Amino acid sequence: MTTLYDPASKTLMGSLVILPASGGSRQVIVFQLNPASLRRRLEPQLVGGDRQAQSARLMYAAAPTESIDVELELDATLQLSPLPGQPPSPDIRPQLAALETLLYPTTTQVQTQQAMLNAGTLEIGPYLAPTVVFTWGTARAVPVKVTSYSVTEEAFLASLAPVRARVSLSMQVLSYSDVSPQDPAYSLFLAYQNTKQQQAASGGFSSASQPVIGVDPSALG
């Protein structure tokens, strides 16, 4: 997965990478400004849930449910040119549109299915969504679905096109428990979890063959 870098601030930039369901080129929505904070919540999925029998051993039913919340700031003065030699957009409508269309089936999908329906060859059914990958640094690239999006537009051109906005974005991580093994999100999540396991294995000290993560045993007296 591509890691994005801002040479001016020497900072890796967060992003959303969209892998089209039908294949083709990926689209990358780069965060103009990394959010000052990122909220993550994990809830374990256990057999029997909260009512598990006391006599039974603790057992996992699936991967934990993980949610990610970020607050993004968008500003037209930080817009990038979409193509070399072309001026950047004078407003932030392209970025807002890119985020918002993650919540829609494409018009091509809708029109194609309607044409097939009109021809009597298909009933209207679900539309296949793209795979969305949230990237945050070199060690976090995780498949997600956007569960909530809200935007506050704060400044406008004379045409009322927005030039500054704050976006609240909530995402749910898609684990191997949520998708089929053929889904691209399946292997992406396995890599995400494997990275966590490697970090946990390399981040502790060893005392009497037992790892103590983040604590130096020699300092315990």
pLDDT digits (tens, 9 = 90+) for 50-75: 665 565 788 899 999 999 999 999 99
In the three-class reduction of DSSP (H, G, I as helix; E, B as strand; rest coil), residue 198 is classed as helix
Q: What is the pLDDT of residue 5?
A: 60
Mean confidence (pLDDT) of the chain:
86
DSSP label at residue 179: S
Distances (CA, A) of 158 to 90, 132, 151, 161, 167: 12, 34, 20, 7, 22
How long a stretch of residues is the chain? 221
Q: What is the pTM of this model?
A: 0.84
The DSSP secondary structure of 33-96, one letter per residue, reads B--S-EEEEEEEEETTGGG--TTSPP-EEEEEEEEEEEEEEEEGGGPPPSSTTSPPPSSSHHHH
**Side-by-side strand order, sheet with 131-135:** 27-30, 15-19, 131-135, 141-156, 162-173, 60-75, 38-46
Q: What is the pLDDT of residue 47?
A: 87
How far apart (Å, rounded) are the C-alpha atoms in residues 30 and 13?
7
Q: What is the pLDDT of residue 76?
A: 94
Question: Are the CB atoms for 90 and 170 separated by under 8 Å?
Answer: no
Range name among 121-135, 153-167, 169-183 with the lowest pLDDT average:
121-135
Mean per-residue pLDDT for 3-14?
71
